Amino acid sequence: MDLYVEPELADHIINKIFTIQKEYIEKAFEVCGDAIDIVYLSDDMGM
């Protein structure tokens, strides 16, 4: 319900989650390079 009532807060939270995941993936590529073939993310950002 909070995500519906506070859309700006929801947007901020979802963007923060995305930023953390993106930085994690970028770091993994730096460390592992071509050893990574597939990147898959799954998260229930609605809850």
Q: What is residue 45's predicted lDDT score, i.e. its pLDDT?
A: 60
Map residue 46 onto helix, strand or coil: coil
Q: And the tokens for 11?
A: 């947007």
pLDDT per residue as tens digits for the range 8-40: 998 998 899 889 989 999 999 999 988 999 888
Whether the per-residue pLDDT at 3 is higher than 80: the answer is no
How many Å is the Cα radius of gyration of the chain? Answer: 14
pTM: 0.69
pLDDT level of residue 47 (50, 70, 90 thresholds): low
Q: What is residue 4's predicted lDDT score, i.e. its pLDDT?
A: 84
For the chain, the first-to-last Cα distance in angstroms comes to 9
CB 29 within 8 A of CB 22: no
